[in-house]
Structure formats: C-alpha cells, structure tokens
Amino acid sequence: MNLKRLDKIISSQFNISRSITKAIIHRGKVKVDGQVVRDPSLQVDVDSVCIEYKGQVLSYKEHIYIIMNKPKGVLSASEDKSRETVVDLVPPELFRQGLFPVGRLDRDTTGLLLITDDGDFAHMVISPKKNIFKTYKVLLDGDITEDMFEQFEKGIVLADGTKCRSAKLKRVCENTAEIKISEGKYHQIKRMFGVVGLGVNELERVALGGLKLPINLGAGECRELTEAEKNQIFDN
Ligand code: URA
C-alpha cells in the first residue's frame, strides 16, 4: 500500500495549487473508484485507486524523468528572475512543482539534459562515485595534437591546480573532438582545453552514460524518459 492524501495527489499530478485542488474536491469534481469524493484529506492507495478529474483518469507517477535537448542561451536552473531557464521550457503536460535540472550545462552549451523532481535519482546520476561518463562533442578553435590524448588520459591539471580525472579524448575531424568525463567541475571542459591552449567554440552533450541524445529531439524539445532509457544512463 502506498497511501497518500487525495488533494496532494491531484495537486502534484495535475500541477494545480493545493488550495484550488481542495476547492475542486469540495465542489464534487473528483471521483475515486467511480464515486464522487468531497474530502480532500481522504487517504487513498496510489497503486490501486482510480482517480478521475475532468473525465481524465489519473495515472499516478511518484516522480517524473524528462530528457531535454537544451538549446543555447537558456539557464540550467529551476527559476531565475530575468532569464529563461530549462524548467521554463517544460511543456504544461510534463510540468510539475519541484522540477530541477540534473547537473548543469553552461548557458551556451547545448544537448542532453535531464530534468526531474527526484532528488535521489539526480544524486545517483551526478555523484562522481557512480563514475557515469558524460560525452561531449566539442568544436575547438584549433586542432588537437597527438600529445593531448595522453595528457587527457593522465588527468589534466587545471589552471587553479585542480587535478581532473582521466578523460577520454577522440579526434572526430579537424577542430572537432569528442570527450568523455566522469565528473562535473565548473566549466570543466572549457578549462581542460584551455590548459592545452585550445578555445571551445561549441559544446554539445551527446550522451550520459549509455544514454544518447535522441536524434529526433530538436533543440528546446523534451519528453519523458522511457524506463529502458533510464537504465541506459547507468550502463556506462
Ligand atoms: N564543461 C563545460 O565547460 N561546460 C559545460 O556546460 C559542461 C561541461
């Protein structure tokens, strides 16, 4: 049994405030197992109950897991006074309170970003202990040279003396590389390339663990992750 208050369930799943939810229930707009219920505090088992509101049967999800193709110019944050955030881009049918990005991409970085309301899940993905590799495609202002492979493999020491973990560097074509890192220090990739004298012109995250950025997900688009995709993240 997974008992929860009726008003809490409706408010979280339909993204309606608790006070409005209570009013809706009082007005007899909600059915539980086919019967109108007017008590917002009713405890129901979310695993077995059938809740209807506005003719819609609610399929309860404790948490939501969203994959986004982050566009340029948008902040990796839940909210900001003046600038647009990735959570602002979540469409109403996926939106709920408590959403936040799993880790951060710089404002000018594009690509795979997860958004969720599940703190434990986010911790598992971000924690360096889990060793989940993030893959980035990088457009540089120069070409990578042979000696850089070893430098990245050994672990770059950033300008402030911070030692990075071993990173996997691959040359894709002239001025373009793919890099895999298993940690997420501030501006890490830009700073790593800075150490070897290269500037980053474009940065795109193309994979998280074994989960690739879907090719049919356009810039700024998002959708729910499937269960299989969720597992791919941990399949490094
Ligand atoms: N490294 C960076 O420098 N920026 C990002 O957005 C992600 C990794």
Q: How confident is the model at residue 56 (pLDDT cuts 50, 70, 90)?
A: confident
Alpha-helix residue ranges (DSSP H) falling in 15-54: 18-26
Please indicate, yes or no, whether residues 120 and 96 belong to a single structural domain of this protein: yes
Please indicate, yes or no, whether residues 119 and 219 belong to a single structural domain of this protein: yes
Instruction: Give the mutation target among 189, 196, 204, 206 for probing the ligand 1 site: most ligand atoms within 8 A of CB.
Output: 189
Please indicate, yes or no, whether residues 147 and 202 belong to a single structural domain of this protein: yes
Please indicate, yes or no, whether residues 123 and 215 belong to a single structural domain of this protein: yes
Please indicate, yes or no, whether residues 113 and 222 belong to a single structural domain of this protein: yes
Contact between 78 and 100 (Cβ < 8 Å): yes
The pLDDT, as a whole number, for residue 38 is: 96
- Residue 72: CATH number of its domain: 3.30.70.580
Please indicate, yes or no, whether residues 106 and 219 belong to a single structural domain of this protein: yes
The pLDDT, as a whole number, for residue 117 is: 95
The burial of 116, by beta-carbon neighbours within 10 Å (0-12 exposed, 13-18 middle, 19 or more buried), is given as: buried
Query: Across the strands, what pairs with 211?
Result: 208
What range defines the domain where residue 46 resides?
3-57
How many whole angstroms separate alpha carbon 14 and alpha carbon 32? 15
The pLDDT, as a whole number, for residue 64 is: 95
Expressed in angstroms and rounded, the spacing between residue 136 Cα and the centre of ligand 1 is 9
Q: How confident is the model at residue 12 (pLDDT cuts 50, 70, 90)?
A: confident
Q: Mean pLDDT check: name the lowest of 60-64, 108-112, 227-231.
A: 60-64
The pLDDT, as a whole number, for residue 58 is: 87
Instruction: Give the mutation target among 109, 126, 156, 164 for probing the ligand 1 site: most ligand atoms within 8 A of CB.
Output: 109
In the predicted structure, residue 236 carries a pLDDT above the cut 90: no
Residue 78 has a CB neighbour count (10 Å cut-off) of 15
The pLDDT, as a whole number, for residue 196 is: 97
Please indicate, yes or no, whether residues 110 and 8 belong to a single structural domain of this protein: no
Query: Across the strands, what pairs with 140?
Result: 200
Mean pLDDT (whole number) for 35-45: 95
Alpha-helix residue ranges (DSSP H) falling in the chain: 6-14, 18-26, 119-126, 146-154, 188-195, 227-233
In the predicted structure, residue 150 carries a pLDDT above the cut 90: yes
Please indicate, yes or no, whether residues 99 and 114 belong to a single structural domain of this protein: yes
Expressed in angstroms and rounded, the spacing between residue 57 Cα and the centre of ligand 1 is 41
Q: How many domains are there within the chain?
A: 3
- Residue 179: CATH number of its domain: 3.30.70.1560
Please indicate, yes or no, whether residues 51 and 110 belong to a single structural domain of this protein: no
Token pair 């109403």: residue:
92
Please indicate, yes or no, whether residues 52 and 163 belong to a single structural domain of this protein: no
How many whole angstroms separate alpha carbon 49 and alpha carbon 52? 10
Q: Which of 37, 57, 77 is the last residue of a domain?
A: 57
In the predicted structure, residue 1 carries a pLDDT above the cut 90: no
Closest residue by Cα to atom 2, ligand 1, is 187
Tell me which residue of 91, 112, 116 sits closest to 102, measured CA to CA. 116
Expressed in angstroms and rounded, the spacing between residue 52 Cα and the centre of ligand 1 is 44
Please indicate, yes or no, whether residues 116 and 217 belong to a single structural domain of this protein: yes
Please indicate, yes or no, whether residues 87 and 182 belong to a single structural domain of this protein: no
- The set of catalytic residues is 106
In the predicted structure, residue 128 carries a pLDDT above the cut 90: no
Q: Mean pLDDT check: name the lowest of 53-67, 74-88, 112-126.
A: 53-67
